Amino acid sequence: MFLVCGEALFDFFSDEGQIAPDASSLSFTAVAGGSPMNVAIGLSRLERQSAFFTGLAGDALGERLRAVLASESVNTDFMTEIPGSATTLAMVTLDDNGSPRYVFYNQCGADRMLEPSHLPVSLETVHAIHVGSYALAVSPTSETLETLVARERDRCLISLDPNIRLKVEPDVARWRERIDTFAGHAHLIKISDEDLDALYPDRAPEEVIRGWLNDRCPMVIMTRGGEGVTLFTKDGSESFSPEAIRVTDTVGAGDSFMAALLTWLDEQGLATPEGPGQLTQDQRRDMVEFAMRAAAHTCQQRGPDLPRRHDIVT
């Protein structure tokens, strides 16, 4: 089973186009989300067993998040209710390219309040752990997840997707320190070129990525939006181009890519600490192409509509 760790929240999409600009009220469409939650759902939709570990508020939205995960067959046994907390809200707008821009309301968010005492004592049924997004940078959740991956890295595959959110934690130095720390425990890293530019605007992406590659982490994958994907190993890099599609928006595309990447590894019996380093060149190509098809499916839908297995079978 995969254990996905991080934030769970509601994305609020404004329905401004349906009302007059001088109206005194706004209407929104609220969608359960958060990058890690999307990955957990994506894994389940791709017929992998997944569980989710996060802090959960006892409010109505927290109850709805639990219900959404259960309805997607994601195991919720590891979720912890945090007294006095609230469910994080994210206000989402789209730019001209369909890329999302976020404003977060989460100072009392349950997903940022995980303590080491909330960690599961035993993970006998878990063989892979995925961490990502702003849960990596906010305390005490960040330190709690660091304890988890350090404890389990020799037994479980550890995958990392930084998914930078400077609106939540604006301190770039904090992000750099935290990402480098988690990268030191990871066996597989996926990061976007936008995230690398936000973290290291004065350094070439290849230079940063080469610093993460080592015997523990033999593979780093950089996504480049509509330009495709570059996969780095210690021996070099390979670039892959996606098929041309009509993009509705890119919300959740990176999460679909991540879920499909992990699914492909699991189906090949390679979702292990040693697995990413055992792939042949042909296997790396097949894995990336499978993940790109998953991301393309989501880009053609509105919002984070992650694919099911039959949606990306060729």
Buried b (16+ CB within 10 A) or exposed e, 87-125: bbbbebebeeeeebeeebebeebbbbbbeeebbeeebee
List, for residues 21-50, the tens digit of each pLDDT value.
Answer: 666 777 888 889 899 999 999 999 999 999
Q: Indicate whether 21 belongs to any domain.
A: no
Q: Indicate whether 305 belongs to any domain.
A: no
Comparing CA positions, the residue from 55, 49, 63 lying closest to residue 6 is 55
Q: Indicate whether 252 belongs to any domain.
A: yes
What mean pLDDT do residues 163-179 have?
95
Q: Indicate whether 24 belongs to any domain.
A: no
E strand or H helix that includes residue 104: strand 100-105
* Residue-range definition of the domain harbouring residue 158: 2-15+30-300
Domains held by the chain: number: 1
Q: Cα dist. 231→118, 129, 200, 276, 287 in Å?
A: 35, 21, 19, 12, 11
Tell me the whole-structure pTM to 2 decimals: 0.93
Instruction: State the pLDDT confidence band at 20, using cuts at 50, 70 and 90.
Output: low
CATH number of the domain where residue 8 is located? 3.40.1190.20
Structure tokens at 104: 């977060």
Q: Indicate whether 314 belongs to any domain.
A: no
Judging by beta carbons within 10 Å of its beta carbon (0-12, 13-18, 19+), is residue 5 exposed, middle or buried?
Answer: buried
Q: Indicate whether 178 belongs to any domain.
A: yes
Q: Is the confidence at residue 51, as pLDDT, over 80?
A: yes
Q: Which pLDDT value is given to residue 152?
A: 98
Structure tokens at 260: 């499909």
List, for residues 97-154, the tens digit of each pLDDT value.
Answer: 667 777 888 888 999 999 999 999 889 999 999 999 999 999 999 999 999 999 999 9
